[in-house]
Amino acid sequence: MSDILEGLNEQQKEGVITTEGPVLLLAGAGSGKTRVLTHRVAYLLEQGVAPYHIMAITFTNKAAGEMRERINHMIGFGAESIWVATFHSTCVRILRRYIDRLGYDTNFTIYDSDDQKTLMKDVCKYLEIDTKIHKEKMFLNVISSAKDELISPEEFTNRALGDYNKTRQAQVYREYQARLKANNALDFDDLIRLAVELLKNDPEVLDYYRNRFQYIMVDEYQDTNTAQFELVRLLASGRENLCVVGDDDQSIYKFRGANIYNILNFEHHYPEAKVIKLEQNYRSTQNILNAANEVIANNEGRKKKTLWTANDAGDKIRFEQFESAYEEAQFIASNIRTRVMREGYHYNDCAVLYRTNAQSRMLEEKMVHDNIPYKIVGGVNFYARREVKDILAYLKVVDNEVDDIAVRRIINVPKRGIGAASLNKVTLFAAANEMSFYDALTKAGEIPSLGRAAKKIEPFVQLISDAREHLANGSIAGLFEYIIDVTGYVEDLQLEGTDEAKGRIENIDELRNKIIAFETEHEDATLRSFLEEVSLVADIDSLDENSDYVVLMTLHAAKGLEFPNVYLAGMEDGLFPSFMSITADDSDQEIEEERRLAYVGITRAKEHLTITAAKMRMVRGDMQYSAVSRFVQEIPSELIDGVVYTPKKKFDVGYDAGGYGSSTGYGSSTGYGSSSGYGSSAGYSGSAGSAGLFGSAAYGQGGFSLKGKKTQAQKYQAKNFGTKIEKKGLDYAVGDRVSHVKFGEGEVTAINDGGRDYEVTVDFDRVGVKKMFASFAKLKKC
DNA sequence: GGTTTGAAACTTTTT
DNA sequence: GTTTCAAACC
């Protein structure tokens, strides 16, 4: 027996050597599943399987990258021809090669959710749908779910017969799909769906790939949706050497179409499947693991398994409830400080996890304040930022001019004086002549209604064709510089000179770096391959374990990661589990999904787990008062260091009748101050003193700005009044002589009350008459 | 055609 | 509290 199996436990060994036939590897958190997968690959190679025939699919580029690295490390030569990729990039690679068989062009563009929204807006406008009643987002959700379930526009239409609303949705779906095709674009869901369609309908393609992928492994199988399952099923058909790895307790992407039954019913799909459970946890202390087990045990409908560990009991779980989110953040920051300063941990040993991205703001402020290096994962994707998308849109148009969304994005960025009226005329012309928007632009001179506006369009068309020429005899980086140069994009931002503009310039610089890095790493880099990579990256992919910073991210983003010190912030009912899940029609199911999320959070911790909650917190501008999360209460008190108040009543009474926090809600109706610790909002705000005081003291504008970010109030202040807001009386009057820093001395000829400020007219000796606002001019009486 | 302003939506999670 | 989008204004 080879040394490949050395150091593995019995179950892991079984997972490695059971190479033939379907295998379900139920891998609890921290049970070493990646280890099994990489050893399995090594084992396959040792058995004489060609690397070319092995495939491993993951969800994120980060996971794929890690697996690739570990495989390389273990195997070395030959490993590069093993197919390790995400679902989406796998499908892109298949489609780039064969999508022409489905009537698409192989140089298709990939639309992100932003592009989808823009496209949907156009569709709704065209179909005269009142988006006040039917939201674009709703249609996109409907379509996305349909695609996840492999329902084509035609089938959707058939199923909708007799139902007015559904028929309308079908109409939108058809139009949306038609436009995608006309733009030569695919959305994320199309990537999977069309790959499946191709494999289903084209025996030649199917044969090619299933012969190529003779041994298939799928990571995070609990997160696959119906389309992804179908893809895997097709590829594995025939040999059925399919090994899926997952943990039903960590299924947290139902909202994105993940079908938990893919894993729960795996044995049903493949009756001969071998099921192997990995239950030994190598990651966490006994106490942390026990807590996780106790919490998840409250879920029904799961594959029963109990994680155990040979690790020490470790510290108890620390729980702290604070008056406010402000104090909570303060505590977390100072606690991290202590860990680093006194206990020898590094910043990157610490992670703060929360339910919603909105919670990151307060935490970020405290990190800045305490000088703690940090990185926020999630929120706005780098490639979704306006300036980045603008530049990318130029690149996209150079690559695929049929992409109307990209063309429209940049046609008037920077301003070329081409307005909505002109664009409408071009659109009409394009529709009448059945050509793309861009083609219509190239024929602007032939559109009579345009008149003089045609002259404004010509330079744009010229720019694109010049840029294309530029690319032909240069690099992507060269093209990038060219575009920055001729559009004056960065120049304009420099002139703006605001902190915000500086931030945007930094992002553009960052984009430049990414392009250069891409070209350095890939010898055969093309514009298309760059754009493709860019459209398939997730924020989590940018996480670098070697950099010493604290990571702030959502619980969803944390899946698959581990840290010695984990902070679970905002553990409050209504926030986590979310208000939506508590009030949903299928609340039981939704709460179970939230509980799985809690389980994911707890099991990220290796050594220390700190759970925090706040009694009150600002949500959407107003105060919300919350009880400690039910999930915290599901942890046995002997595992906890800290006091968790238990409610007198069960939660299932609250939330519905008079709304959140009304006196009909949970807890005692006498409100805050009762020993239960649960207050109705009416009760709490009765003690207005503390809340009011706190509000002004803690949430004031603060003396620092966040990496160029400013609050709206600060921006307003900066823009209109410099540093002072109050309108002060003037110590000079008409006829007085005053002096100005730049213009020198002059005589005041008029003073007008302009509302918030005075408008002063001065006749300067050197430069003549100037009008200015008093608070800006800072005139001094001579 | 461009800019400013106020109202309304948003916040559960995202490849 | 912040962002987005349209109407009103320049």
Cα dihedral: A109, A113, A118, A121 (round 10) = 130
Mean pLDDT of chain A: 84
More confident residue, A61 or A718: A61
Confidence of residue A742 (pLDDT cuts 50, 70, 90): low
Give dist(CA A375, CA A549) in Å, integer: 6
Give dist(CA A203, CA A200) in Å, integer: 7
- Give me the CA A591–C1' B8 separation in Å, rounded: 30
pLDDT tens digits for A570-613?
999 999 999 888 888 888 899 999 999 999 999 999 999 999 99
Q: What protein residues sit with their CB closer than 7 Å to strand B?
A: A 59-60, 86-88, 113, 132, 135, 137, 188, 252, 255-256, 355-358, 378, 381, 412, 415-422, 453, 536, 538-540, 554, 556-557, 578-581, 590, 619-621
Mean local confidence (pLDDT), A189-207: 96
- Give me the CA A375–C1' C1 separation in Å, rounded: 22
pLDDT surpassing 70 at residue A332: yes
pLDDT tens digits for A358-378?
899 889 989 988 999 999 888
3-state SS class at A87: helix
Cα dihedral: A245, A247, A248, A253 (round 10) = -80
How confident is the model at residue A668, as a pLDDT? 27
More confident residue, A343 or A415: A343
- Give me the CA A759–C1' C9 separation in Å, rounded: 20
Phi-psi region of A128 (alpha: psi -120 to 50; beta: other; left: phi over 0): left
Confidence of residue A276 (pLDDT cuts 50, 70, 90): very high
How confident is the model at residue A757, as a pLDDT? 54
Residue A366's φ and ψ, nearest 5 degrees, are: -70, -35
Give the residue carrying structure tokens 């202390």.
Answer: A285
More confident residue, A702 or A223: A223
Give dist(CA A665, CA A679) in Å, integer: 9
How confident is the model at residue A256, as a pLDDT? 86
Mean local confidence (pLDDT), A521-533: 92
- By C1' distance from the Cα of A59, the closest nucleotide is B15
Give dist(CA A29, CA A282) in Å, integer: 9
How confident is the model at residue A771, as a pLDDT? 66
- Give me the CA A46–C1' B15 separation in Å, rounded: 33
How confident is the model at residue A645, as a pLDDT? 62
Q: Please state which of the ranges A400-414, A426-440, A651-665 shows the lowest mean pLDDT.
A: A651-665
Q: Could you tell me the CA-to-CA distances from A24 to A16, A107, A266, A267, A586 in Å, in that order?
A: 12, 37, 7, 8, 29
Tell me, rounded to whole angstroms, the distance of Cα A139 from its chain centroid.
20
Q: Please state which of the ranges A69-73, A128-132, A268-272 shows the lowest mean pLDDT.
A: A128-132
DSSP A383: G
- Give me the CA A339–C1' C6 separation in Å, rounded: 51
Give buried/exposed letters for A174-188 (b at 16+ CB in 10 A, else e). bbbbebbbebbbbbb
Mean local confidence (pLDDT), A268-277: 95
Of A534, A533, A540, A536, the closest CA to residue A560 belongs to: A540
Confidence of residue A397 (pLDDT cuts 50, 70, 90): very high
- By C1' distance from the Cα of A710, the closest nucleotide is C2
How confident is the model at residue A734, as a pLDDT? 80
More confident residue, A653 or A382: A382
More confident residue, A683 or A491: A491
How confident is the model at residue A697, as a pLDDT? 24
User: Which residues of A have a catalytic role annotated?
Assistant: 33-34, 219-220, 250, 604
The residue that minimises its CA distance to C1' of B2 is A417
Give dist(CA A353, CA A350) in Å, integer: 10
Contact between A317 and A287 under an 8 Å Cβ cutoff? The reply is yes
- Give me the CA A719–C1' B5 separation in Å, rounded: 15
Give dist(CA A104, CA A99) in Å, integer: 6
- By C1' distance from the Cα of A618, the closest nucleotide is C1
pLDDT surpassing 80 at residue A132: no
Mean local confidence (pLDDT), A237-249: 95
Strand ranges (DSSP E) for A147-199?
185-187
Give dist(CA A367, CA A707) in Å, integer: 12
- By C1' distance from the Cα of A117, the closest nucleotide is C4
- Give me the CA A659–C1' B8 separation in Å, rounded: 22
Bridge-based pairing of strands A744-753 and A737-740 is antiparallel
Q: Using a CB cutoff of 8 Å and minimum separation of 24, what contacts does A709-713 make?
A: A709/A499, A709/A500, A709/A503, A710/A499, A710/A500
Q: Please state which of the ranges A22-36, A64-78, A222-236, A274-288 shows the lowest mean pLDDT.
A: A64-78
- By C1' distance from the Cα of A113, the closest nucleotide is B14
pLDDT surpassing 60 at residue A545: yes
3-state SS class at A324: strand
Confidence of residue A424 (pLDDT cuts 50, 70, 90): confident
Residue A195 CB coordination number (10 Å) = 29
The residue that minimises its CA distance to C1' of B10 is A620
Contact between A283 and A63 under an 8 Å Cβ cutoff? The reply is no
Q: Which amino acid is at A530?
A: F
Q: Could you tell me the CA-to-CA distances from A461 to A412, A589, A630, A753 in Å, in that order?
A: 12, 54, 60, 49
Give dist(CA A224, CA A87) in Å, integer: 9
- By C1' distance from the Cα of A715, the closest nucleotide is C2
- By C1' distance from the Cα of A620, the closest nucleotide is C1
Q: What protein residues sit with their CB closer than 7 Å to strand C?
A: A 618, 620-621, 699, 711-713
A747: CB partners within 8 A, 6+ apart: A735, A736, A737, A738, A762, A763
- Give me the CA A374–C1' B4 separation in Å, rounded: 37
- Give me the CA A81–C1' B3 separation in Å, rounded: 56
- Helices (H) and strands (E) counted in chain A, each on its own, are 33, 21
- By C1' distance from the Cα of A121, the closest nucleotide is C5
pLDDT surpassing 80 at residue A240: yes
pTM of the model: 0.81
Structure tokens at A148: 């996840």
pLDDT surpassing 60 at residue A87: yes
How confident is the model at residue A597, as a pLDDT? 95
The residue length of chain A stands at 782
pLDDT tens digits for A456-478?
999 999 999 999 999 988 899 99
pLDDT tens digits for A202-226?
999 999 999 999 999 999 999 999 9
- Give me the CA A720–C1' C5 separation in Å, rounded: 23
Give dist(CA A177, CA A109) in Å, integer: 14
For strand B, which nucleotides have at least one atom less than 7 Å from a protein CB? 1-3, 9-15
How confident is the model at residue A27, as a pLDDT? 94
For strand C, which nucleotides have at least one atom less than 7 Å from a protein CB? 1-3
- Give me the CA A175–C1' C3 separation in Å, rounded: 29
Give dist(CA A412, CA A571) in Å, integer: 46
